[in-house]
A and B are shown apart, each in its own frame.
Chain A
Amino acid sequence: MYKAIIIGGSAGSFQVVTRILSSLHKDFPLPVLLSLHRLKHIRSGFVEALSLKSSIPVKEPGDKDHIRPGIAYLAPSNYHMLIELGSRFALSTAAPVNHSRPSIDLSFFSAAQAYREKLIGIILSGANRDGAQGLERVASLGGKTIVQDPDECQVPVMPKESLKLTGVDHILNSSQIIEFLKKINRNALD
């Protein structure tokens, strides 16, 4: 069974992430790792905004915090969020990638290594190519890959760049992504 879900998003992804978080069961069985581009200088506010409608707790992990199921973890501002072996987070102040810190690629690289075929990687709306290489790594290490249907995206560049590099498993609109995740929930509870 799967062990984690990682979601990358940028411009135009906030509403989709909010919808996903609000429709998950409150006992969702996996951790949801959110690597979303965000303003560098504003340390607070984003978690609170995502928490408003989320049915599971949303947190910004500290370095070396344990990764627990049923929690959405948002990459903190001005750090890269990496997944260490042994189900812990590691933060990094390495140079921005594609002008971004947090970088979706780096989160996906490390999650792919840590969870391999037990990871679901999802790329949502966004305006640059961050995430494309990351999703490719998820695929090459055996994980499941999903991109938001570019036709539905407010800004389709990120999903399109991902589709160029990776023959993804699914191209889904946001309602279908939600259905997909709900199915995981049902399977895990059965």
Chain B
Amino acid sequence: MARFNLGITDVRKITGALTEKGYPDFAGYALMSLKLSLEKIISNHGFKESGAMVSRIYSDDNFTDSLIDELSVETTEMFRDPSMWRLLRERIFPGIFGTGDKIKFWLPGSVSSEDLVSLIILLKESDLTTRSAIILTSLSGKSLDNIASGVFRSSKMEVSEANYTKFQGKGELSEYMVKEGGKFFWNKNLFSEVTFSLGKSHLEASATCVNCIIFRDKMIYMNLTLSNKMLDVICRSLSGGGYFIIGSGESLTHTLFDKHFSQVDQNEKIYQKIR
């Protein structure tokens, strides 16, 4: 059977409804990704057409929160791009932790736990946990609950373990997990230094004087206008010399903020804010 094909006007109606419900960001999302995820969601929920979804957005807040979670489509894995995590451990952390101050991390727009837990494990294995504070923000309560519950999908185990080996972690990934009722969960004590925070827009700055912002594979879902607004927030939240990490397929080249950052390494997308 041919797949449902959503028109651009229908996409606009849905983002319009989300804006009216207080979620303005989606109007600035990159059109094709948004269209493809909406088509998938419409099929999964058994809606016959987009109008039914629009009505539901207006009438059912739980549905809308869950939709925000589903729309944040990324699926990543532990230690995606292991060489980037190695670079953090070997070149970046010795510098930022060198001063003795507590170091602040921010993960805006999170929908899953992989980057968070990768960071936590990296800090733990470097004996830096108590010298760090991590803030994680998300647009969806459902996403936040999922992340905080520590649940880890076993389908990601194989690739995650392979990445952890390439990262040259100190132990086994499984040492950080427990199995309960057939599911894997991260050890709860891993989250002791994490503050979870819910907001309706990525543009609500949640932190100031941040030393390192991890925002990987998020701007790929935004158009240039929203990306630039987000980068403005990020620029203002970062301390001078702070680090900004994006996905391997992303760059600042097309944005207005290229001149505010220098790329630390040719192969990895780790940027440093120019003082």
Q: Which A residues form the contact surface with B (CB < 8 A)?
A: 40-41, 43, 62-65, 76, 78-79, 82-85, 90-96, 106, 109-110, 113-114, 133, 136-137, 140, 165
What is the bound-complex CA distance between A92 and B253, given in angstroms? 18
- Whole-angstrom distance between the Cβ of A48 and the nearest chain B Cβ: 14
What is the bound-complex CA distance between A62 and B248, given in angstroms? 8
What is the bound-complex CA distance between A39 and B181, given in angstroms? 33
B64-89 CB contact bits vs A (8 Å, 1 = yes)? 00000000011110001100000000
Extra inter-chain contacts (17) besides given A62-B253, A91-B220, CB under 8 Å: A41-B163, A43-B81, A62-B249, A63-B219, A63-B220, A65-B254, A76-B248, A79-B220, A79-B249, A83-B32, A84-B32, A93-B217, A94-B75, A133-B2, A137-B2, A140-B2, A140-B5
State whether A94 touches B2 (Cβ < 8 A). no
Interface stretch, picked from B33-41, B93-101, B142-150, is B33-41
- Whole-angstrom distance between the Cβ of A28 and the nearest chain B Cβ: 25
What is the bound-complex CA distance between A85 and B7, given in angstroms? 13
Contact A165 to B2, CB < 8 A, known contacts A62-B251, A94-B74: yes
State whether B33 touches A63 (Cβ < 8 A). no
State whether B73 touches A95 (Cβ < 8 A). yes
State whether B36 touches A94 (Cβ < 8 A). yes
- What are 10 of the A-B contact pairs (CB < 8 Å)? A63-B250, A64-B224, A64-B227, A92-B220, A93-B74, A94-B33, A94-B73, A106-B36, A114-B32, A137-B2
State whether A40 touches B159 (Cβ < 8 A). yes
What is the bound-complex CA distance between A43 and B98, given in angstroms? 32
State whether A63 touches B249 (Cβ < 8 A). yes
- Whole-angstrom distance between the Cβ of A97 and the nearest chain B Cβ: 9
Q: Which of A63, A76, A84, A137 has the most CB of B within 10 A?
A: A63
Q: Which of A40, A78, A90, A93 has the most CB of B within 10 A?
A: A93
User: In the assembled complex, which residues on chain A have CB atoms less than 8 Å from the CB atom of B224?
Assistant: 64
Secondary structure dominating the interface of B: loop
Q: Which residue of A lies closest to B30 (CB)?
A: A90
State whether B80 touches A113 (Cβ < 8 A). no
User: In the assembled complex, which residues on chain A have CB atoms less than 8 Å from the CB atom of B249?
Assistant: 62-63, 76, 79, 91
- Whole-angstrom distance between the Cβ of A93 and the nearest chain B Cβ: 4
User: In the assembled complex, which residues on chain B have CB atoms less than 8 Å from the CB atom of A93?
Assistant: 73-76, 217, 220, 247
- Whole-angstrom distance between the Cβ of B257 and the nearest chain A Cβ: 13
State whether A95 touches B75 (Cβ < 8 A). yes
What is the bound-complex CA distance between A76 and B217, given in angstroms? 13
User: In the assembled complex, which residues on chain A have CB atoms less than 8 Å from the CB atom of B31?
Assistant: 84-85
**Which residues from 88 to 126 on chain B have a C-beta closer than 8 Å to any C-beta of chain A?**
none
- Whole-angstrom distance between the Cβ of A22 and the nearest chain B Cβ: 27
- B221 within 8 Å of A by Cβ? yes
User: In the assembled complex, which residues on chain B have CB atoms less than 8 Å from the CB atom of A109?
Assistant: 3, 36
What is the bound-complex CA distance between A68 and B13, given in angstroms? 32
- Whole-angstrom distance between the Cβ of A187 and the nearest chain B Cβ: 29
State whether A110 touches B250 (Cβ < 8 A). no
What is the bound-complex CA distance between A64 and B224, given in angstroms? 8
- Whole-angstrom distance between the Cβ of B179 and the nearest chain A Cβ: 24
Q: Which of B217, B219, B220, B248 contacts A43 (CB under 8 A)?
A: B248
B218-257 CB contact bits vs A (8 Å, 1 = yes)? 0111001001000000000000000000011111011000
- Whole-angstrom distance between the Cβ of A66 and the nearest chain B Cβ: 9
State whether A92 touches B2 (Cβ < 8 A). no
What is the bound-complex CA distance between A84 and B247, given in angstroms? 19
User: In the assembled complex, which residues on chain B have CB atoms less than 8 Å from the CB atom of A110?
Assistant: 32, 36
User: In the assembled complex, which residues on chain B have CB atoms less than 8 Å from the CB atom of A113?
Assistant: 32, 35
State whether A133 touches B3 (Cβ < 8 A). yes
- Listed from nearest, the 5 A-B pairs whose CB atoms lie closest are A94-B73, A91-B249, A93-B74, A110-B32, A82-B32
Q: Which of B36, B80, B217 contacts A82 (CB under 8 A)?
A: B36
- B162 within 8 Å of A by Cβ? yes
- Whole-angstrom distance between the Cβ of A4 and the nearest chain B Cβ: 14
Q: Which residue of A lies closest to B248 (CB)?
A: A43
User: In the assembled complex, which residues on chain B have CB atoms less than 8 Å from the CB atom of A106?
Assistant: 36
User: In the assembled complex, which residues on chain A have CB atoms less than 8 Å from the CB atom of B166?
Assistant: 41
- Whole-angstrom distance between the Cβ of A135 and the nearest chain B Cβ: 11
Contact A78 to B73, CB < 8 A, known contacts A90-B33, A92-B220, A137-B2: no
What is the bound-complex CA distance between A186 and B21, given in angstroms? 54
